[in-house]
Structure 1
Amino acid sequence: MSSIIQLLPDHVANQIAAGEVVQRPASVVKELLENAVDAKATDIKLIIKDAGKSLVQVIDNGVGMSVTDSRLCFERHATSKIRHAEDLFSLHTKGFRGEALASIAAIAHVEMKTKQDQEELGTHIIIEGSKLISQEPAVLPKGTSFAVKNLFFNIPARRNFLKSETVEQRHIVDEFQRVAMAHPNIHFAMYHNGSEMFNLPISNFRQRIVNIFSGKTNEKLVPVNEETEIVILDGFIGKPEFSKKNRGEQFFFVNNRFIKSGYLHHAVMSAYEGLLKDGAQPSYFLCLDVPPHTIDINIHPTKTEIKFDDEHALYAILRSAIKHSLGQFNVAPVLDFDRDPNLDTPYQYQNKEAEYPTIAVNSDFNPFSTEPSRGSFSSSSQYRKQELKPNWESLYVGLKQAGQELAEITFENDAVTSSLFEEADIDQEVKRTYQIHKKYIVSPIKSGMVIINQKRAHERVLYEEFLTNMTVKQASSQQLLFPLELYFSSSEIHLITELKLSLENLGFIFDTINDNSIIVSGLPVTISESRASIVLDDLLTDLQDGIPDSSFSQNDMIAKSMSKSLAIKTGTYLTEREQENLVHNLFACKEPNVSPFQKPTFITMSVEDLDKKFAL
């Protein structure tokens, strides 16, 4: 019987590896940025076209590569980071497997230009699908330029699995932010379709966070510092009042490498226990510096998951350090029964200088004198009274005549008009709706009764109202006396820009949209000024997986998100008129049976059903 096991050809093996390493354009961005960091670059540029599907290019001013290295870097398991197996447990660099460039070259058109500082000429290499097309010397600046074009050109099935440009771009931005945040000592810039998205100068860690997530982030941050034998913890956490519903601003860095850890995330959440609303997520940007031999990075191809030797100790240190910072900066409430709150300095007097009291002495004051002195306060008041005494009768001159005239004036009585709803009718009218546990509305019908879920019913009413406004484009808007300035991250600003037309059809009026803020001068009539920021935050959270391409799907998603945010919540008391209004509006909808999320809005119970219950 012939052998059936064969060695795979190199190009097939590279494509298999690419399935693990290169899942989407963002994976290419991650690998190329980390290579640039390992090359000791101080200036890194990322250029993207069509969300990475057409072009991903990274330009750095690092050490570059020689002619031999520039060709060897595309071979499988060729790396400059590993010499022995023991080196896997003392890693100080990003990449070490030697799979990334070989995998990328197997599924894309790759063009690399590199030059070392001491060399006169550099190397220009073009590879398509693991095949070397050309390699020639060229006049180049110091560093490396790596361009990846037409990703998955030879694997159309993988290309079809890519999401929309909005989703793929969001993943690229996430990877860019992770690498840029871990290295504030490097200048990073990102360009998408010719427009600049980020320009992050060399700075400290706090300033890098602020540059990425808008200027208002600075006031949200609380520093965390702890140094032990196991770990050196440094970074920032967000104040509880600035928590969000999504987990977009949560970062762990271990030895300058971004990681994901549900275990450490649980430690952070336990430190915030009692300070967050249900479903709220705090922001944190935490750097853990641990000895390299105590972690294992080589457990996942993307290297975002690592294994710690002593996870329990890390959990306890992280939890206690965050609790200490929250208490130290008066973010968490402190119980001190011996403290007298009356001794606290009021806010308006904290920075005010003390005023020294002055003493005024009246040298003319004589307590034994029968004539009151004009110098003292009491005597001065007596003097004024005495001086005015002879003229007091003049105050009443002419009062009698004026009184007689006033007596002759007659005032017309206001006619008492009947109220809009006669009280007698209200008393005699049978109550048509009842609210149970501030959650359900019960309304009698001919065959029995209807039990309505007030939250779902209101969602359906608002959903159809918003969808109609966006379709017909006749939404009314309320002008604000003072425009609102709302702050968002650059990626959120990009989403709002794409949704601008649909939001304006709903009734929003945007004056300006800047790099990290928007100015709103008008709101839909159903949204109060205090809830504008919450509604937009919820909308961006719901759209974090991407905006649908078709306009109807886009409008549908916006209407669903806003109806969920603005619907009356369970536990809200409704007056009888509000209950009746909600019931009438629900049954005036096109599809009153289900909420926008396909859940029933009401159930009916007939008299026969009730009779069966009592027959048991």
Structure 2
Amino acid sequence: MADIIQLLPDHVANQIAAGEVVQRPASVVKELLENAIDAGATSIKLIVKDAGKTLVQVIDNGKGMSATDARLSFERHATSKIRSAEDLFQLNTKGFRGEALASIAAIAHVELKTKQETDEVGTVIVIEGSTVTEQDIVVTPNGTSIAVKNLFFNIPARRNFLKSNTVELRHIFDEFHRVALAHPTISFALYNNGSETFNLPNSNLRQRIVNIFGNKTNEKLVPVEEETEILTISGFVGKPEFAKKTRGEQYFFVNDRFIKSAYLNHAISSAFEGLLKNGTHPSYFLNLYVNPQTIDINIHPTKTEIKFDDEHTLYALLRSAVKHSLGQFNIAPVLDFERDSSLDTPYTFNNKVSNTPTIEVDRSFNPFTEDAKPRQRSVSMASSYKKEDTTGWESLYVGLESKGTKNTQDFSEVHFESDETTISAFNDESKVDQAQTTYQLHNKYIVSTIKSGMLVIDQHRAHQRILYEDFLRNMTIKEGVSQQLLFPLQLHFSTQEIDIIKELKEDLEHTGFVFSNLKKDSIEISGVPVSIPESEVSIILEQLISDVENEVPDSNFSATDLLAKSMAKSLAIRTGQTLKKEEQEHLVNKLFACKEPNVSPTNRTTFITMSVDELDKKFI
């Protein structure tokens, strides 16, 4: 039998490797930014067009490469960070696999310009699908500029799987934020379709967080500092009252490398136990510094997952450090046994001399003397009682019998009236049936009778369906009724969240929202839909942003539909809410006036029916 196993050609192997390293344009952004940092750059620019599908370019002022290194960097497993296997456990750099540039060059058009400070001219290399089409001398500034164009041009199936520009751009922003937060001492700039989106100067971590997420973030941060032999922690956590429904502002950095760890995230959540509302998540920006020998980075192609030698110790240290910071800055209640604040001297009594109380005694008082004043007073009081006229006491009893008879008649009349009322309440069957058409069960279900049996409605899902169709109708016919606010609402969001609101602004206005001002990090709302309370506006917008980010809609997604679903989910009656009889009946009537009363907007059953026959079978 002939041999059937053969070695893959390099260009095919590179395309397969690209499937692990390059999943979307954001993957290219991550690899190129990390290479720029490893090159010692102090200023990095990221240029993106069409959400990275047309162009991703990174320009840095690092040390650059020689002509030989520039050519060799696109070969597989070519790296300057690893010399032996032992170096894998002493990593202090970002990229070390040697697959990033080779994988990117296999699926895109790449143009590299690089120059070292000691050289007079630089090198330009052009690669198309792993094939070098040009290598020449070029005049270029110190550092490296690498442009990745037409991503997945030779793999159309992978290109078709990319999401819409909005979603892909959000992933690029996420990667940009992760790298920028890990290195606040490096200045970063991001240009999207020719316009500047971020310009982050050289700063400290707190200023970097504020520059990315808005000026309002500064008052939300609580510093966390802890240094031990095993672990050094520095960074910030958000105050509990500013916790969000999304997990967007959660960043762990281990040795300046962004990681994801559900285990360490649980440590933060347990430190905030009892301080957060249901359904909200704390914000944190924490740098963890450990010995590189105690971690293994090389367990995932994207290097976002790390294996720790002693996770339990890190969990305990991280939890206690966050809990200590929350207590130290009076965010969480603490017990202090050293002093009692109730014993402190009030400010108004400082430097005042206290008056010593004195007791005065009448030493001449003798209770046994006849001329004592209390004795005289008692005699006079007794004499006054004796002077009371008691003549004609018999007249007090005149007519007593007639009064008693009248009172008896009054009581009997009251008794009979009460009996009649009680009897009519229980015996008038028509009134009973009219008053009890619906029942609320456990403040969750509404039970109603129908001809064939019984109807059980989930009040939360049913109200979602009612609100969803109302909002969808208002947005379709563009006739949302707005209620003007006496004082406009000022809400603060990050730049990324503001962009989402801008995209949905037109649909929101059709529901009744009125935006008087949209800034880079805040919005001003002067009108809201009539059905929405003013206090719920920020919650609704946060939920809407969360839905847009987490549902990851594709190009066929309808912003109007998602907006109607999100608002209905935020405003629907909750499980556990007591409803009056009129509210129950109104909910039932509105539900069956909907076009699709059977399911909620998320395709979950809103009601079930049970016939009399089914009930009868239960008693067999």
Contact residue 114 and residue 124 of structure 2 kept, 8 A? yes
Q: Give 1:49-88 correspondences, 5 Å limit.
A: 49-88=49-88
AA partner of residue 216 (structure 2): K
Give the structure 1 partner of residue 530 of structure 2. 525
Residue 497 of structure 1, aligned match among 502, 515, 520: 502
Contact residue 547 and residue 554 of structure 1 kept, 8 A? no
AA partner of residue 29 (structure 2): V
Give the structure 2 partner of residue 389 of structure 1. none
Contact residue 439 and residue 453 of structure 1 kept, 8 A? yes
Secondary structure class of the residue paired with 2:435? coil
Contact residue 73 and residue 102 of structure 2 kept, 8 A? yes
Give the structure 2 partner of residue 288 of structure 1. 288
AA partner of residue 51 (structure 2): A
Displacement of 1:4? 2.3
Contact residue 235 and residue 286 of structure 2 kept, 8 A? yes
1:136 aligns to 2:141 (yes or no): no
Q: 1:228 to 1:586 in 2, by over 3 A?
A: same
Give the structure 1 partner of residue 616 of structure 2. 611
Counterparts of 2:499 and 2:144, CA distance in 1: 30
User: In the TM superposition, what whole-angstrom CA distance separates every residue of 1:460-495 from its partner, at most 9, and x where no partner exists?
Assistant: 110000000010101100111111111111111111
Residue 447 of structure 2, aligned match among 436, 442, 445: 442
1:488 aligns to 2:493 (yes or no): yes
Counterparts of 1:547 and 1:568, CA distance in 2: 26
AA partner of residue 84 (structure 2): H
Give the structure 2 partner of residue 23 of structure 1. 23
AA partner of residue 587 (structure 1): F
Q: 1:456 to 1:134 in 2, by over 3 A?
A: same
Displacement of 1:431? 2.8
Give the structure 1 partner of residue 589 of structure 2. 584
Displacement of 1:275? 1.9
Counterparts of 1:345 and 1:191, CA distance in 2: 60
Displacement of 1:448? 2.6
1:246 aligns to 2:246 (yes or no): yes
User: In the TM superposition, what whole-angstrom CA distance separates every residue of 1:6-59 from its partner, at most 9, and x where no partner exists?
Assistant: 222111111111111111101100000000001111110000001000000000
Give the structure 2 partner of residue 513 of structure 1. 518
Unaligned runs of 5+ in 2: 354-427
User: In the TM superposition, what whole-angstrom CA distance separates every residue of 1:397-425 from its partner, at most 9, and x where no partner exists?
Assistant: xxxxxxxxxxxxxxxxxxxxxxxxxxx99
Contact residue 163 and residue 555 of structure 2 kept, 8 A? no
Contact residue 166 and residue 547 of structure 1 kept, 8 A? no
Give the structure 1 partner of residue 203 of structure 2. 203
Counterparts of 2:591 and 2:241, CA distance in 1: 35
Displacement of 1:547? 4.6
User: In the TM superposition, what whole-angstrom CA distance separates every residue of 1:161-185 from its partner, at most 9, and x where no partner exists?
Assistant: 1111111111111100000000000
Q: 1:356 to 1:336 in 2, by over 3 A?
A: closer
Counterparts of 1:201 and 1:501, CA distance in 2: 34
Contact residue 163 and residue 554 of structure 2 kept, 8 A? no
Counterparts of 2:559 and 2:65, CA distance in 1: 47
Secondary structure class of the residue paired with 2:549? coil
Q: Give 1:324-473 correspondences, 5 Å limit.
A: 324-335=324-335, 342=342, 429-473=434-478
Contact residue 26 and residue 171 of structure 1 kept, 8 A? yes
Between the aligned residues of both structures, percent identity stands at: 70
Displacement of 1:5? 2.3
Displacement of 1:339? 6.4
Q: Give 1:177-216 correspondences, 5 Å limit.
A: 177-216=177-216
Unaligned runs of 5+ in 1: 359-423
User: In the TM superposition, what whole-angstrom CA distance separates every residue of 1:95-123 from its partner, at most 9, and x where no partner exists?
Assistant: 11111011111110000111111211111
Secondary structure class of the residue paired with 2:317? helix
Displacement of 1:277? 2.6
Counterparts of 1:94 and 1:523, CA distance in 2: 48
When the two structures are superposed, what TM-score results if normalisation uses the length of structure 1? 0.85
Give the structure 2 partner of residue 478 of structure 1. 483
Secondary structure class of the residue paired with 1:543? helix
Displacement of 1:548? 5.0
Q: 1:162 to 1:548 in 2, by over 3 A?
A: closer
AA partner of residue 437 (structure 1): H
Counterparts of 1:586 and 1:172, CA distance in 2: 42
Give the structure 1 partner of residue 545 of structure 2. 540
Give the structure 2 partner of residue 102 of structure 1. 102
Contact residue 163 and residue 553 of structure 2 kept, 8 A? no
When the two structures are superposed, what TM-score results if normalisation uses the length of structure 2? 0.84
Q: 1:433 to 1:145 in 2, by over 3 A?
A: same
Contact residue 55 and residue 149 of structure 1 kept, 8 A? yes
Give the structure 2 partner of residue 6 of structure 1. 6
Displacement of 1:583? 1.4
Counterparts of 1:345 and 1:243, CA distance in 2: 37
Which deviates the most, 16-25 or 263-272?
Answer: 263-272
Q: 1:233 to 1:428 in 2, by over 3 A?
A: closer
Secondary structure class of the residue paired with 2:102? helix
Aligned residues: 545
